[in-house]
Amino acid sequence: MSTSSNTPTSLLVPHFTKPHLTAPPSTGRKEEEDDDEKVTNEFNEFLLSLPREKGWRTPYLYKFQGFWCPPKEIQAIMSFQKHFQAKDTDVVLASVPKSGTTWLKALAFAILNRNRFTDKNRHPLLSSNPHDLVPFFEYKVYANSHVPDLSGVPDPRIFAAHVPFGSLQESIKKSNCRIVYICRNPFDNFTSLWFFINNVRSRSLPPLSTEEIFNMYCNGFVGYGPFWDHMLGYWKESLERPDKVLFLKYEDMKEDVTFYIKKLAKFLGCPFSVQEERDGVVEDIAQLCSFENLKDLEVNKSGNSIIYFENKHLFRKGEVGDWMNYFSPSMVEELRNVMEEKLGGSGLEFKIFTG
């Protein structure tokens, strides 16, 4: 793969599928197994102390630090909170699930690395899923009890999280690292989640009806939810610290992607030069990261770049207003009421496409 230097791409684009553990050397396999069992038992006891509700993908969601979360993700988040140390040059991409996360990862990676990868035909995004290039803390970096050594990851390091703002590792909140948050109209967010869960929910679990899933969503019983708390946490921080948190809406970005690519680049501290704009670099990034282009790539049609999920399920339509094809009038009224009750007065509003 061509880059602007002779440095091998594998050194420029870190992969977290097999992180280096920082745990001390083991004194023996039996001791390791005993320690693992002790950790598992202690964690299971901890889970039993938490409120729980029926889950979407897993049997149960547990209320952890004020939000609902599957058990394995909780364990990874606890490790992330204990071990991660942010650097001022870090970038953290945050979102509610199914809100345009994959797209934002592609855009941020392409913007920050545009001088490293100058060959448009051999860009890493053509051969790697965005979730491999920008790993989730809870699904890759700290998943499965991994405690990776991140010291060798080149700056700027880019990570992602579905974790609410209040549960981010403290050094992220206190450092000068930048946070980019993307959210989506709750109508389209629910629709995307509904299709996604139908694809990934274990066949060993009883099926969930549309009505049941919708009621769970409106009551906040969804991974990393309630969605309104998640959105408002980042929204308020973006108002108080606009240089720290950039708040984006999926619908706005779809409407004028070149404007938001330039806005994102400026926020990340690497604005496009006049010459770059003349050369069409912004448009090239928009095309490279477009939903249609990413969905059509072979790397995004197979494999698992996020633990538990197949890549082919990460791309469906990417459309604004698709909810209108599925919502009944009563569902529209109920979700409108939830949004008015929970988001009213905050200043956070969404365009509702009704025809």
The dihedral through the CA atoms of 25, 31, 32, 35 has a sign that is negative
Q: How many residues does the chain have?
A: 355
Nearest to 71 by CA among 229, 223, 200: 223
Going by C-alpha positions, the residue among 225, 248, 217, 241 that lies closest to residue 331 is 217
DSSP of 128-154, one letter per residue? S-HHHHS-BIIIIISGGG--B--TTSP
d(CA 272, CA 275): 8
For residue 60, give the H/E element and its range: strand 60-64
Rounded to an integer, what distance in angstroms lies between the CA atom of residue 219 and that of residue 226?
Answer: 7
For the annotated catalytic residues, the residue numbers are: 162
User: 181-190 burial by CB neighbour count: b if 16+ within 10 A, else e?
Assistant: bbbbbbbbbb
